[in-house]
Amino acid sequence: MDTRRKINEKSKQEQLDRVHPDPEREYLTTNQGVRVSHTDDALKVGERGPTLLEDFHFREKLTHFDHERIPERIVHARGSGAHGYFQVYEPMTEYTRAAFLQDPKKKTPVFVRFSTVVGFRGSADTVRDVRGFAVKFYTEEGNYDIVGNNMPIFFIVDAIKFPDLIHAIKPEQHHQMPQASSAHDTFWDFAGSLPEITHMLMWVLSDRAIPRSYRMMQGFGVNTFRFVNAEGKARFVKFHWRPLLGIHSLAWDEAQKLAGKDPDFNRRDLWEAIEMGDYPEYEFGVQMIEEEDEHNFDFDILDATKIWPEEEVAIRWIGKMTLNRNPDNFFAETEQIAFCPANVVPGIDLSNDPLLQGRLFSYLDTQLIRLGGPNFQEIPINRPLSPVANNQREGYHRTTIDQGRVSYFPNALGENKPRPAPAEEGGYVHYQEKIEGRKIRARSEKFNDHFSQAKLFWNSMSEVEKEHIVKAFHFELGKVSDTGVRSRVVDLINNVDGDLAIRVAQGIGVPPPARKGAPSGTKKSPNLSQETTVMDTIKSRRVAILAMEGYNRDEVVQVEQALKDAGAHPEIVSEFYGRVRSADGKEMEVDRSYATTGSIVYDAVYIPGGRHAETLKNQSYAIHFVNEAFKHGKPIGAIGEGIELLKASAIKGVAFADTSGGEALAEMGVVTCGSQGSVESFIDQFKTAIARHRHWDRERMEQVPA
Ligand code: HDD
């Protein structure tokens, strides 16, 4: 008989609701529940005299405040979370006995935390960095965590090097600079001396490191795990998440500006998307390798610095995760959630991947200090939905009131309960892998091919993506003061591709390698490039509509409605908040004023027709808005007189069509509609341009300053 508790999409929320504060919140009280009559002045001797120690309300309030902070995570300190649910597409019984992967009707609650790795808790979202993608499934068999990243590989092979990596990449120990950045001497000093890092360097310097949104990036379990079915047959697996909106990135210049203008850019995007009903969705995929094929690849399948190329091991998309609710309280949920790769359920097992093996220790260990003791799993967000029953007792912050006198096993006084469950009753049985060996500090020879997959990645990039990588090297190494360190990195990437090394050397003032490295070859894995991603939707994209007094209202209403119908979010941007009057004397509410926004927070811009263009084309703000959007490859649409603003901007070398023609422009994502053109066809072209996300070729037009 299946004695497991039934779980549905709402189960976790119902559990959390039980710890919400008392709804009777009329009066302020102390922590003892005593009503407080006055909280503006401390208790004193006379109106101008000293404060009294006996003021228990004052002391309690201050003491609690003094202790509000807990240590931030040593890595991944900056993060944002959301609730949701997971559904499998079809029973995975053949491969795993995990209960949450059996029934397509079942919705398993999840909590996801996205993060940057290097920055402190208050650092900017849009820095160049790996993004964490950690998912906790609250299954009926216990909590299952996939603690992944948005890149499928890692910097190092063995967990023993993790403290070195993090010490090198965090702000330097003497002056604690720079914040949230790998662009400094110690990281590149470490990297230049560590060939196994090369493949990851290619990923971190690619556009993957500056995602447009947490909703538009992939996730990967990175390490190798196992699926085990009810018969005990095991297969090696790697886990993937792919966003339904496609994988899209920011421009580097834009990312840096956003870090100042809106340091919460990705956090805000996630929050607002969920509030607006644009629920982020990700498909869940697995790659599986049969045990007998373990050694049939030219990489070691336990090496976390390697991908399993899709061409060799296909990804099977087996389910979908939807994030549909923001947390009630950041600290209680997003900050206190504790993930651990060792949190597995029956049907999912570990592997000997040496990075994973170290992680299995580190996460539990770190929570003990971060969350203040061994009872952190009692914190509501960490509580499983399945019952917890064992003989672990006491410790700081214990909230469970264990009853009876028995806290050991075996026992007769308590009918031998709780007792171990056999596998048929859901007991976790470790996969019985046969191991033989000597105790040695060493790794298998196969781990030492550090360059083949770095070459594969480089080769799979489009020309624009390659250029972004080269420029990222120029930035990162340009911030390194030691020229010896710069040169060592150039020598390292010379192993990937000789031309890459020369192009990088050129930008950072060091000589090219003494002997040019071999070309990277021709082998490609097309899906490593973001060019192959989803580009047929404008859902949830933000479009700025620049409008001053005298815009053509009917046209704006038509375009705005068409964009909304396709799921985008147009906003009226004008000089001031309030209402802005159209040519026919009607008014529209302004969503953002020039002072509070900029092109960098939008995906596209549209300049309507009307006599307001006379004003716009003389406004430096509007001109800069268009220049910057152009430079960042964003779709730009202009109708009628609105085209005048484009002509007043620095977009030179682009001929403006007066008619509906304009195909050449449209190809560059600049969509215009002259006096003869039709607004309908403008809308179609503009939508296609927005769906493309960015028109990166435009970045090369150096005559546009921004
Ligand atoms: Fe880690 C946090 C992902 C290697 C040690 N890690 C952490 C988080 C993510 C990852 C997403 C944040 C979880 C959250 O939102 O709370 N880490 C990874 C991935 C890795 C990886 C995908 C490579 C496969 N990590 C790794 C190694 C070690 C750690 C090799 C140590 C041996 N990671 C930690 C940690 C953290 C952590 C110190 C900090 C906060 C926490 O665990 O809860 O224990």
- Condensed to tens digits (0 to 9), the pLDDT of residues 411-466 reads 999 999 999 999 999 999 999 999 999 999 999 999 999 999 999 999 999 999 99
State the Cα–Cα distance between residues 332 and 586, nearest whole angstrom. 47
Atom number of ligand 1 nearest to Cα 221: 22
Closest CA to 607 of 647, 568, 569: 647
Closest atom of ligand 1 to 358 CA is 32
Query: What phi, psi does 399 have (nearest 5°)?
Result: -115, -20
Which atom belonging to ligand 1 lies closest to the Cα atom of 304? Answer: 24
Q: How confident is the model at residue 650 (pLDDT cuts 50, 70, 90)?
A: confident
Are the C-beta atoms of 673 and 628 separated by less than 8 Å? Answer: no
Q: How far apart are CA 140 and CA 7, in angstroms?
A: 6
Question: CA-CA distances (angstroms) from residue 153 to 290, 301, 584?
Answer: 21, 12, 58
Please state the rounded mean pLDDT for residues 45-56.
Answer: 97
For residue 382, give the 3-state DSSP assignment: helix
Q: Does CATH number 3.40.50.300 belong to domain 538-700?
A: no
* pLDDT reported for residue 662: 54
Residue 256 C-alpha to ligand 1 middle, in angstroms?
Answer: 25
Nearest atom of ligand 1 to the alpha carbon of 133: 11
DSSP 536: S
**Cβ contacts of 576 within 8 Å, gap of 6 or more:** 590, 593, 594
What does the pLDDT read at residue 540?
98
Mean pLDDT of 464-484: 98
Judged by DSSP in three states, 286 sits in: strand
Q: Is 149 annotated in the active site?
A: yes
Closest residue CA from atom 4 of ligand 1: 359
Give 79-167+216-382's CATH code, choosing from 3.40.50.300, 3.30.1330.40, 2.40.180.10, 3.40.605.10: 2.40.180.10
One DSSP character per residue, 330-369 reads: IIIIIIT----TT---TTEE----HHHHHHHHHHHHHHHH
Ligand 1 centroid distance, CA of 75 (Å) = 7
Catalytic-role residue among 57, 83, 149, 495: 149
pLDDT at 706: 72
Helices 185-192, 483-493: axis angle to 10 degrees equals 40
Q: What is the pLDDT averaged over residues 472-478?
A: 98
137 lines ligand 1 (CB under 6 A): no
**Is position 459 annotated as part of the catalytic site?**
no
Distance between CA atoms of 184 and 575, rounded to whole angstroms?
A: 40
In the Cβ-directed half-sphere of 693, how many Cα atoms lie within 13 Å? 21
Residue 110 is classified by DSSP as E
Q: What angle (nearest 5°) sits at the alpha carbon of residue 219, between those of residues 444 and 376?
A: 90
Residue nearest ligand 1's atom 25 by CA: 359
Q: Is 256 helix (H, G, I), strand (E, B) or coil?
A: helix
Q: What is the mean pLDDT of residues 654-663?
A: 50
pLDDT bucket at 703, cuts 50 / 70 / 90: low
Per-residue pLDDT averaged across 515-529, rounded? Answer: 93
Task: State residue 702's pLDDT score.
Answer: 67
Determine whether the shortest distance from the Cβ of 115 to ligand 1 is under 6 A.
yes
Q: Whose CA is nearest to atom 28 of ligand 1?
A: 359
* Summary mean pLDDT of the chain: 95
Using DSSP bridges, classify how beta strands 142-149 and 131-139 pair: parallel, antiparallel or unpaired: antiparallel
pLDDT tens-digit readout, 523-546: 999 999 999 999 999 999 999 999
* Residue to mutate, 75, 146, 353, ligand 1, most ligand atoms under 8 Å from C-beta: 75
Residue pLDDT, tens place only, 335-377: 999 999 999 999 999 999 999 999 999 999 999 999 999 999 9
CA of 363 to the centre of ligand 1 (A): 7
Q: Residue 394 and residue 281: Cα distance in Å, rounded?
A: 40
Query: How confident is the model over 379-403, as a mean pLDDT?
Result: 97
Is the CB–ligand 1 distance for residue 371 below 6 Å? no
Query: What's the CATH code, domain 458-530?
Result: 1.20.1370.20
Query: Does residue 2 have a pLDDT over 70?
Result: no
Confidence of residue 664 (pLDDT cuts 50, 70, 90): low
The per-residue pLDDT for 700 is: 73
237 lines ligand 1 (CB under 6 A): no
Q: H/E/C letters for each residue in 642-672?
A: HHHHHHHCCCCCCCCCCCCCCHHHHHCCEEE
Q: Which whole number is the average pLDDT over 188-211? A: 98
Q: Could you count the other beta carbons within 10 Å of the beta carbon of residue 232?
A: 11
DSSP 185: H
CA distance 386 to 586: 59
Q: Which of 283, 285, 284, 294 is nearest to 234 (CA)?
A: 294
Tokens of 267: 């956090």
Alpha helices per DSSP H over 566-619: 612-616
Do 685 and 696 touch, CB atoms closer than 8 A? Answer: no
Cβ-Cβ contacts under 8 Å for 676 (sequence gap 6 or more): 658, 659, 660
Higher pLDDT: 156 or 25? It is: 156
Closest residue to atom 40 of ligand 1, CA basis: 73
Q: Residue range 34-59: average pLDDT?
A: 97
- 217-226, 511-520, 591-600: range with lowest mean pLDDT: 511-520
What is the value of ipTM here, to two decimals?
A: 0.99
Q: Is 395 left (phi over 0), alpha (psi -120 to 50) or beta?
A: left
Rounded to an integer, what distance in angstroms lies between the CA atom of residue 75 and that of residue 11?
30
Give the integer Cα–Cα distance in Å for 378 and 372: 12
The domains of the chain are located at 79-167+216-382, 458-530, 538-700
Residues 6+ apart with CB under 8 A from 302: 224, 351, 352, 353, 354
Q: How far apart are CA 377 and CA 197, in angstroms?
A: 35
Cα–ligand 1 centroid distance for 131 (angstroms): 11
Residue from 70, 73, 196, 382 to probe ligand 1 pocket by mutation (most atoms less than 8 Å from CB): 73
pLDDT at 506 over 90: yes
Which residues have C-beta within 8 Å of that of residue 403, sequence separation ≥ 6? none
Contact between residue 497 and residue 458 where contact means Cβ atoms under 8 Å apart: yes
Predicted confidence at residue 488, as pLDDT, reads 98
Ligand 1 neighbourhood includes 224 CB (under 6 angstroms): no
Question: Which region, left, alpha or beta, applies to residue 490 given φ > 0 means left and ψ of -120 to 50 means alpha?
Answer: alpha
- Percent above pLDDT 70 for the chain: 97
Decide if pLDDT at 659 tops 60. no
In ligand 1, which atom is closest to the CA atom of 160? 32
Q: Please tell me the predicted confidence (pLDDT) of residue 658.
A: 44
Own/partner contacts of 514-522, CB < 8 Å, gap of 24 or more, are 520/455, 520/458, 520/459, 520/496, 521/455, 521/459, 522/459
Backbone angles phi, psi at 463, to 5 degrees: -60, -40
Pocket test for ligand 1, best of 76, 146, 169, 224 (most atoms within 8 A of CB): 76
> What is the 134 CA–ligand 1 centroid distance (Å)?
9
Q: Is the CB of 550 under 6 A from ligand 1?
A: no
pLDDT (0 to 100) of residue 23:
80
Cα(132)–Cα(325) distance, rounded to whole angstroms?
A: 19
Q: Can you tell me whether residue 625 is helix, strand or coil?
A: helix
pLDDT at 663: 60
The protein residue with its alpha carbon nearest to ligand 1, atom 29, reads 359
Show the tokens assigned to 82: 């959301």
* pLDDT > 90 in the chain, percent: 93
Q: Whose CA is nearest to atom 22 of ligand 1?
A: 148
pLDDT of residue 160: 98
Kindly indicate the confidence band of residue 665, based on its pLDDT and cuts at 50, 70 and 90.
low
Query: Which pLDDT does position 3 carry in this prediction?
Result: 63
